[in-house]
Structure 1
């Protein structure tokens, strides 16, 4: 093992430390190895050598097998802490990915040496030396941010700024990623933190408090001894219902509804545990579920099936984000009744025996202790099949009955989901449930507006598909003969491919038969015929993933789209189509406008990252329903900053976080520690942020955004080269204020970049401002036209070093010539 090149662990440093340390005789050294407060603690190999040389030493015993096992485990624990430290340093943008992997590899390569010798104290000393390297590596970032903080203080000229105050605190804590984001906001003219609260109330904390849960449990427990919950619950509601139910809302029927709800609590009807299906249906309707009927499905068990209607996909707002009890609710909901006094293991065993394979309701006809619900959550997450079921015991039933009917479903989910497993997030671009759609109000209005945009473009994971599918949900009104049809044409390369796939979608989604179509002209004629025949009054056609098709028709200047444009005009905008995608859609935007269609296609929509508040809502709302303790500062801000506010990556992060509940529940949470609720832990976030698939996704989506237009990527490379040069030359002005359009243009000329040769400074300014809107660049001053990368970490995504970026420029230039 060669430590001579490992900074802070070099042999000369070890010798110097040894020379300066107090001199110990062998006996004292042996005693210190056994002393947990000593620097030598757990150097068991050294202790073996001392005892071999000196023989027995008074007060010192040879290490036992248990001592060796504990010391070995302690050393492994130190490695885990070191990994956690590196992960958080990376998440906080103190080090880059290459530096993190290098420091981790150094530890791995040298671990065997220390473990073979069983000199675990020296191993811990070695890791501390590596940790000091993190401080050295982050020094330049710390210095740059310190200068930016000073610059911002001068810029605001003594004005109060809660944003700057918070950035200063986070700077001292070493969270450079969020500090950089806050300084960018100050550069953009904002002075104060967004104090808009997370809109969802924390009902779960109220429910599990002693004032609520313990009181309800104690009362239910007394009634359970008399085995007549319904009678007790009616009496309790009459005494404890909100006073407003008897005064201000006397005619609303709130109390009558609550009494009816608890009166229909499922009761054992005979030896097999049957219950009245009508009672179950009444209770489910009182929860806010749209129930058609309830049937018994098993004679051996008290298992039932409720026929339900899912929530409408056309609602403008949803009371909760849980699609399994909303738009994605199955037509059949399994209901299991459990009677008698049951332990958490008993409940889980009976649920497993019932063969429930999807989200189900399990009624427990007794009051469950809060500790038992937590134990059930722990057991459920630890099981291999990860059953999804919501438990409604007498305590929860009574709590829900004391609230108005429109609130109950939302409250049930908030109070019951933390004790089970549910995945609300999607990953890899899966369909986004309507309940999980956040923000984009202006873009939605433009797409739904008959005279609004027909071109939607943007990078991957920015939410184009979710935007179009949400528009489809809102505009689909078959009762009014208004139809919206979303079609993914990713694999369609010809007019006939597109026309046939659209016609098929019209049949499936709008139940409109368009007959045989051969091309877009015949497709437009078929749609016009359906509208003229009064089969449809309005039609919105939403075409997604259009890049391949647009590339195929680019040589014809996109004239194949003319029939759709003509139909839009002839129908006085009763028909509208939208095309969405990546770079080819972006290019088509320019060509279509140049062809004189701009008056008919509206202003194109560039789908950008979410606003900070929209991003916060997307991640926080589902997590609250799952029982997480959601603190905006600093954890959620760290998450959102690392995702660059891309909705697809936020969903990816949320999905990964929830999956850790299934895979590593016992690592982070324990029922004995009073969980749920679940605090978000630094080491948990650090591990997720450092996952390869997440970071690969971030890099891929960032580069795809740059590839929307080859000029974007080349401008980013020019700014990267200028940034590398500024860092090398310690050009603090450029690092703080960014680079002028003139400097960027000169860089493009120096590298002979083909796609930027003919661009004027005004044209470059438009492109650079677009990149600011896309969250790629930032303008440190709103009055001076200078630009720099929004995040320092973007530099490593564009290229790890100056030579690599230069090689990419040369390669891109060669490809352009071909």
Structure 2
């Protein structure tokens, strides 16, 4: 029942018993008492059509999920023997305020809202079926696996289906052994199923799989292991000759397939099938399950059947018009997530619409176009399309090339191209992206894009494959002609996104938040020899978490971490403490010592840094141990660092210490990491990333607050709204944030104010074209060190025109002025 009325978060339902016909005020009182929770209202009497119409207007206007059952309905249901529950819903749901569509419920789609994919489900339930499921983001892979899990477990008490989301296992953001991570996850899952004792653990996968084989045989079990988001895991395992996949295959073989594993992921997962001499190809039949846009019949039912149950039909009072449903399918490109989104908006729109009389009510073309014209709907459609293209940089390049080739032909963008023609066009448009791509690999890209619903495949004469854009509607999603040409020109100058780019932006997760250091910065601090590192930051970038981050780094490499707490600010005290640290850990090969310099004068800071440099240089003679001394600079120590004569300061930074790091704000690639690892999964799109950057400025403290607000939320709009309210409802909060930026130098505050004033006189585009000297002359600035000082605090960008971070710009005048 709870799924039927679209309130899956409620486990219980109130039942309201009414003997006298309830009036408007009584129903509102009931609703207020139970806080508008879903309820079944049993009225022991008969309601006429006028009374039902009044009840419907009340539930819609007050958003009440009430199912009304009166004597008339009870009498009717008494005559329905086989489909009584279905009949009850069809008679009550049209009079309740409900919305069964769930566009952001990744994997958690109620059974009655899951349409199609029957062939795929049956193949995955087959003991000899495929072991790989692949498809683009938000196309329904997780929902498919959940349906398979439910149906498998319904087969009998000895059928166990285990679903695990393993997207983080094998990622660049963690240095934990992927084998150990998966072993622990699977052990816990089997403990939960009662197969292993709560205190059972395993040293390695070999012992685990032997114990699993024994349990399956002993209890005559059938186990289906569904590993979702397996891309990173398979990539890591491929680097070790599919060691773990081989162990899982052994369980399958030795249990006569009473145990089976299925891996699901993006299109990259499919590519592992083609790796020679590897066990994946022997886990199931030679094919793989491709999850793309819904087949036409299923997409049609996903729109028609729920609306029919809610008391609506597509057409006018005279007859139904199926073309209206196909119009929705055209707008959404048969994408299941977009169909759910469009359906949700259409239900909300119709719930607010005034209708006379009783259901069923018609849905018109104007109603559908009103939804399509909504900016948030069009943005989401565009974003889902862009999500698909972002799976691989070359997908977008292929689409842009196809569009630019046909723009002047006025052919509806339906021209067909052979793979060879497209290969030549794309190599000309983006040499760096395609010059190392073979023709076979390029054909693979085209097939992947066909599976994603971007391209369609035609055979001329039955032999020659040709491709075109699946729908001309996709062209409008890419923008105007100038925007398409500009984007293609931008891509033509870029390199293919690499793992290196992720390392520069990804961060280690330190429960419940992320490290203030990027993975690349962690690597720089670890180094490969003894030396000194300087780390600059402020509370806004959570510099107080640096010690936790460094402790995590040392744990990953089985090293030791210590925070130097001696109160003296002289170098001898630091050296003595470092000596004691090494003596306490004679057998530890890697050590990190952290020293917080906040509260010390410029002279004391120099003494300590130079003393540590000298100590580490002496250690270079002893290759047995590696010591990294990290100095932490907060707002005041950063200011005092810039009080040191420039020549001496620069010499230390460039010639004497190993690493100088400023804690960075989160960038787009980093925000993508947050979205990808959030549970339940958040939509990864340019729009959602842009919204988070705009709301937080990428500042760590605000990003952490966004993450906290978003715990267990499936829609990023919820934490965004809460964060906006947090910043807008209190000047004290905003003032505290400005203080957290750590700008303790008055001249630096004046610099920001002057720079913002210049920005009011000239556009940022105009300022970008000017030299540093011109900008400084406009601002009448003499102290150039202020620019470096503000960049250390992440306030200014690295560009020559010194742009102030946008969120800081937005709030600066109100708080500082």
Aligning the two structures, in what range does the TM-score lie when normalised by the shorter sequence?
0.5 to 0.7
CA contact (8 A) 2:5 2:98 kept: no
Report SS of the residue matched to 2:322: helix
C-alpha distance after superposition, 1:80-118 (max 9, x if no partner)? xxxxxxxxxxxxxxxxxxxxxxxxxxxxxxxxxxxxxxx
Q: Which residue of structure 1 lines up, in the alignment, with residue 678 of structure 2?
A: none
- The yes-or-no answer on 1:393 pairing with 2:51 is no
Using the alignment, how far apart are the partners of 2:392 and 2:413 within structure 1? 26
Relative to structure 1, is the Cα distance of residues 802 and 817 closer, same or farther in structure 2, using a 3 angstrom cutoff? farther
Q: Which residue of structure 1 lines up, in the alignment, with residue 226 of structure 2?
A: 542
Relative to structure 1, is the Cα distance of residues 571 and 747 closer, same or farther in structure 2, using a 3 angstrom cutoff? same
Relative to structure 1, is the Cα distance of residues 542 and 513 closer, same or farther in structure 2, using a 3 angstrom cutoff? farther
Relative to structure 1, is the Cα distance of residues 682 and 484 closer, same or farther in structure 2, using a 3 angstrom cutoff? same
The number of equivalent residue pairs is 481
Deviation at 1:325, TM superposition (A): 7.8
Using the alignment, how far apart are the partners of 1:334 and 1:380 within structure 2? 16
Gaps of 5+ in 1: 1-309, 311-321
Deviation at 1:804, TM superposition (A): 1.4
Deviation at 1:692, TM superposition (A): 3.9
C-alpha distance after superposition, 1:548-600 (max 9, x if no partner)? 43344453354332211222122221111111112442343433x55364233
Q: Higher RCO, 1 or 2 (CA under 8 Å, sep at least 6)?
A: 1
Provide the alpha-carbon RMSD of the alignment: 3.2
Relative to structure 1, is the Cα distance of residues 523 and 762 closer, same or farther in structure 2, using a 3 angstrom cutoff? same
Deviation at 1:636, TM superposition (A): 1.2
Within-5 A mapping of 1:394-413:
394-401=71-78, 403-413=79-89
Within-5 A mapping of 1:132-171:
none
Relative to structure 1, is the Cα distance of residues 331 and 770 closer, same or farther in structure 2, using a 3 angstrom cutoff? closer
Q: Which residue of structure 1 lines up, in the alignment, with residue 257 of structure 2?
A: 573
Relative to structure 1, is the Cα distance of residues 704 and 782 closer, same or farther in structure 2, using a 3 angstrom cutoff? farther
**1:368 is matched with which residue: 26, 47, 62?**
47
Report SS of the residue matched to 2:326: helix
Using the alignment, how far apart are the partners of 1:331 and 1:527 within structure 2? 34
Using the alignment, how far apart are the partners of 1:426 and 1:510 within structure 2? 33
Report SS of the residue matched to 1:382: helix
- The yes-or-no answer on 1:476 pairing with 2:156 is no
Relative to structure 1, is the Cα distance of residues 752 and 325 closer, same or farther in structure 2, using a 3 angstrom cutoff? closer
Using the alignment, how far apart are the partners of 2:474 and 2:450 within structure 1? 13
CA contact (8 A) 2:60 2:97 kept: yes
Report SS of the residue matched to 2:308: helix
- The yes-or-no answer on 1:646 pairing with 2:325 is no
Using the alignment, how far apart are the partners of 1:814 and 1:434 within structure 2? 38
- The yes-or-no answer on 1:785 pairing with 2:465 is yes
More helix by share: 1
C-alpha distance after superposition, 1:601-627 (max 9, x if no partner)? 432222111111011112221111111
**1:529 is matched with which residue: 214, 238, 247?**
214
Using the alignment, how far apart are the partners of 1:594 and 1:756 within structure 2? 27
Report SS of the residue matched to 1:716: helix
Deviation at 1:326, TM superposition (A): 12
Within-5 A mapping of 1:83-98:
none
CA contact (8 A) 1:324 1:330 kept: no
C-alpha distance after superposition, 1:381-433 (max 9, x if no partner)? 222xx3321111122222222x3222221111111111111222212133011
TM-score, normalised to structure 1, is 0.54
Q: Which residue of structure 2 lines up, in the alignment, with residue 429 of structure 1?
A: 105
TM-score, normalised to structure 2, is 0.54
Within-5 A mapping of 1:742-781:
742-751=420-429, 753-754=431-432, 756-757=434-435, 761=439, 764-765=442-443, 767-779=445-457
Q: Which residue of structure 2 lines up, in the alignment, with residue 682 of structure 1?
A: 365
Using the alignment, how far apart are the partners of 1:748 and 1:418 within structure 2? 52
Q: Which residue of structure 2 lines up, in the alignment, with residue 352 of structure 1?
A: 31
CA contact (8 A) 2:103 2:340 kept: yes
Within-5 A mapping of 1:416-565:
416-430=92-106, 431-477=108-154, 479-493=156-170, 494-509=178-193, 513=197, 515-517=200-202, 520-534=205-219, 536-565=220-249
C-alpha distance after superposition, 1:478-509 (max 9, x if no partner)? 85412111112233342222222233333335
Using the alignment, how far apart are the partners of 1:365 and 1:346 within structure 2? 18
Q: Which residue of structure 1 lines up, in the alignment, with residue 686 of structure 2?
A: none
Deviation at 1:523, TM superposition (A): 4.0
- The yes-or-no answer on 1:599 pairing with 2:599 is no
Q: Which residue of structure 1 lines up, in the alignment, with residue 377 of structure 2?
A: 694
Using the alignment, how far apart are the partners of 1:579 and 1:809 within structure 2? 35
Deviation at 1:649, TM superposition (A): 1.6
CA contact (8 A) 2:131 2:280 kept: no
Deviation at 1:328, TM superposition (A): 6.5
CA contact (8 A) 1:362 1:392 kept: yes
Report SS of the residue matched to 2:99: coil
C-alpha distance after superposition, 1:53-101 (max 9, x if no partner)? xxxxxxxxxxxxxxxxxxxxxxxxxxxxxxxxxxxxxxxxxxxxxxxxx
CA contact (8 A) 2:163 2:225 kept: yes
Report SS of the residue matched to 2:292: coil
Deviation at 1:787, TM superposition (A): 1.9
Using the alignment, how far apart are the partners of 2:142 and 2:398 within structure 1? 27
CA contact (8 A) 2:6 2:98 kept: no
CA contact (8 A) 1:499 1:519 kept: yes
Deviation at 1:739, TM superposition (A): 2.1
Report SS of the residue matched to 1:703: helix
